[in-house]
A and B are shown apart, each in its own frame.
Chain A
Amino acid sequence: MPGADKEADLTERIEAFLADLKRGGCGTGPIRGSGETARETTALLRKVTAQARWSSAGDLMEIIRKEGRRMTAAQPSETTVGNMVLRVLKIIREEYARSRGSSEETDQQESLHKLLTSGGLSDENFRQHYVHLKANVIEAINELLTELEGTTDNIAMQALEHIHSNEVIMTVGRSRTVEAFLKDAARKRKFHVIVAECAPFCQGHEMATNLSKASIETTVIADAAIFAVMSRVNKVIIGTQTVLANGGLRAVNGTHTVALAARHHSTPLIVCAPMFKLSPQFPNEEDTFHKFVSPHEVLPFTEGEILSKVNVHCPVFDYVPPELITLFISNIGGNAPSYIYRLMSELYHPEDHDL
């Protein structure tokens, strides 16, 4: 029966995605970049919306939440999955509100104003059925997908405003967004890039190779030399894995060092992060914040006698507090870290923050 086939196909795709997520979290960087993960998640959610059986917005939100919980449980450090689920939930809420005809301001964030003027406790249970809701939601998800596809280009387009000729720019490790950003600026300006290699995974080497292929003068330095070289750097431009709700970052190991060195020399720190990396989490959950991978990169297993006497850790991420960051460049423009709360309220609904 075609229906059963489609359902089986959908479940198969979800299972394959989950397996990929579980496998993909090794230290050498995920098998896919976060942009691809975001697109894949959104495409899957669109399929779920199209194929699953639901009659009201409430049912659909329950289904999406369930799938979302499974996906985030597979790889908690890959926050883009959770972020996309939250975006889709917000889309559903908006489309429902639009179908009901109520203005979009109602049922948005809690505010003092709402406390004072609403005529009763919110009994919005999304139970009503609307004929065009499915089509509207799928259309909105398609718009989201288009936005996701254009993020790197949107960020790269802003490069010329921030990078000037004969500047020395420092970056850490490898970020596809920063790479595109620098390559775009290199078309019209001549500047020098210093890449910190970011041990033990040494993704900086790959970044340096890619940049030099685009005829940008690149230098690779060891992480220990970051502070020493910082006095000659004009700007630091980095990517990140996640942007947290307080404006802080969860970025690759070594970023905090760069941020502190930049603060000491009063060098501006610019973070290139697309909107889908914005997560409503705060850096309080220590158990889920960090991810540790096999320490054989730090101390290989061949060093047998030492291993029994020494504890070796290999964390993947670093926390960078918001005070050290100067500017966030995202696909919607440049923003200060203190403005992140506003962007968060526009992207996600507070009731969805804990899936």
Chain B
Amino acid sequence: MNEEELVEYFRTQMRTDPDMASAVAAIRTLLEFLRRDKGETILGLRESLKWATDCLTEVDSSVAVSSGGELFLRFISLTSLEHQVRAIHSHRLLHIHSEKNVGQSSLKASPPPPCLSQDLSRCKKVMEERGELFLEKISLSRTKVAKLCHTFIKDGAKILTHSSSRVVLRVLEKAAAEKKRFTVYVTESQPDTAGKQMADALRRLNVPVTVVLDAAVGYVLEKVDLVIVGAEGVVESGGIINKIGTYQMAVCSKAHNKPFYVVAESFKFVRLYPLNQQDVPDRFKYKADTLRTVSDLSDEHPMIDYTPPSLITLLFTDLGVLTPSAVSDELIKLYL
């Protein structure tokens, strides 16, 4: 699968299902890449997957695609490790068994390594099956998040949210389905005015919604009961990376003592540890086209910002309701 096919497949995935998260589309593309890959070794497979992930980040530079790619790579490593151990073990058993049959002593030097290509195809089959299962599980994650979060929305609540997030929309849908009455304030979120899309979607659900200026966040916060935002990435410290303007909203809610909730699926957890805004790598801050065409990035407006964990009250993920300190635990369990 060459670069154009990869990018075309990714774009098709995003087009056919606009509700799909970009990380899910990336993982789906990488799974398809795995299926069509004709490599002979696991190491070669990893190299080509890294290359494929880089291609995808050229198309969509968001944190989510990068974290989806890393997660898939980790998935490949874990599965191949498990499979290798099992393969060597079963080969050894077979060997000893056949030795016993012939009547010779079973004290032999380590058996010859298993046949690589035969094992690789079996390994790839396991990877493909598990990959499908993984995709199935993560497609359910938004529903799980909505189930956890809607109980925190009380009847008569006034909610503030930022820009357009499909997870937040799902949560609000669930709350509306549970017959809760609430009103929503959405920030317009320049420069792409994504907030208007969110407002339209909410109007279709018959939820009273008001679009406010980004600058009006401080003004509106005294009326609001809680703030819910989505996240493009959840970093190791428990902070989040999200559309520009989220940090401002978090600081204001802290000043007003309003709870600041984040809803994110678990595949958005990423191995970054930014200490301030400057620490977030440039490749995430700007759109992919901007990175390619513009030489002096200091003139460009960043599209995302980093919100530190001290400003976040709770994170709702498909792994449960987490305090920001629990996020690094989850990442450690996976990556180390």
Contact = CB atoms under 8 A, between A and B. Distances in A.
Interface of A: 109-113, 115-121, 245-247, 282, 284-286, 322, 338-342, 350
Interface in B63-94: 71, 74-75, 78-79, 82
A79 B78 CA distance: 41
A115 B314 contact: no
B319 A111 contact: yes
A110, A113, A115, A286: residue with the most chain B Cβ atoms closer than 10 Å: A115
A91 to B, nearest CB: 21
A338 B325 contact: yes
Given A339-B325, A341-B325, A342-B329, A121 B133 contact: yes
11 contacts: A109-B319, A109-B320, A112-B334, A115-B134, A116-B75, A117-B79, A119-B130, A282-B152, A322-B323, A339-B325, A340-B323
Contacts of A246: 313-314, 323
Nearest to B136: A121
Nearest to B326: A341
Nearest 5 CB-CB pairs, A to B?
A338-B325, A112-B334, A341-B326, A116-B75, A284-B152
A109 to B, nearest CB: 8
Contacts of A245: 321
B42 interface: no
Contacts of A116: 71, 74-75, 78-79, 130, 134, 334
B256 interface: no
Interface in B113-138: 130, 133-134, 136-138
Q: Which of A117, A286, A339 has the most CB of B within 10 A?
A: A117
A107 B320 CA distance: 15
B318 interface: yes
Contacts of A120: 133
B333 interface: yes
B325 A112 contact: no
B98 interface: no
B64 to A, nearest CB: 15
> Looking at chain B's contact residues, is the secondary structure mostly helix, strand, loop, or mixed?
helix
Give the residue among A110, A112, A284 with the most B Cβ atoms within 10 A.
A112
A53 to B, nearest CB: 34
Nearest to B126: A119
B247 interface: no
B323 A341 contact: yes
Contact of B318 (A109, A110, A118, A340): A110
B330 A111 contact: yes
A341 B322 contact: yes
A121 B139 CA distance: 13
Interface string B296-326: 0000000000000000011000111111111
B207 interface: no
Contacts of B152: 282, 284
A322 B312 CA distance: 13
Interface in B127-171: 130, 133-134, 136-138, 151-152, 154
Contacts of B260: none
Contacts of A113: 78, 333-334
Nearest to B149: A284
B134 A112 contact: no
B320 A110 contact: yes
B148 to A, nearest CB: 10
Contact of A112 (B82, B130, B326, B331): B331
Nearest to A117: B78
Given A117-B130, A339-B325, 13 more contacts: A109-B319, A109-B320, A110-B319, A112-B71, A112-B319, A112-B331, A113-B333, A115-B137, A116-B79, A116-B134, A117-B78, A117-B82, A341-B325
Contacts of A109: 319-320
A188 to B, nearest CB: 35
Contacts of B322: 341
A115 B329 contact: no
Contacts of B266: 112, 115
B326 to A, nearest CB: 4
A350 B137 contact: no
B187 to A, nearest CB: 24
B269 interface: yes
A117 to B, nearest CB: 5
Contacts of B318: 110
A112 B330 contact: yes
Nearest to B314: A246
Nearest to A350: B320
A115 B325 contact: no
A286 B154 contact: yes
Nearest to B152: A284
A325 B109 CA distance: 61
A118 B334 CA distance: 13
B321 A282 contact: yes
A111 B314 CA distance: 17
A243 to B, nearest CB: 13
Contacts of A282: 152, 314, 321
Nearest to A341: B326
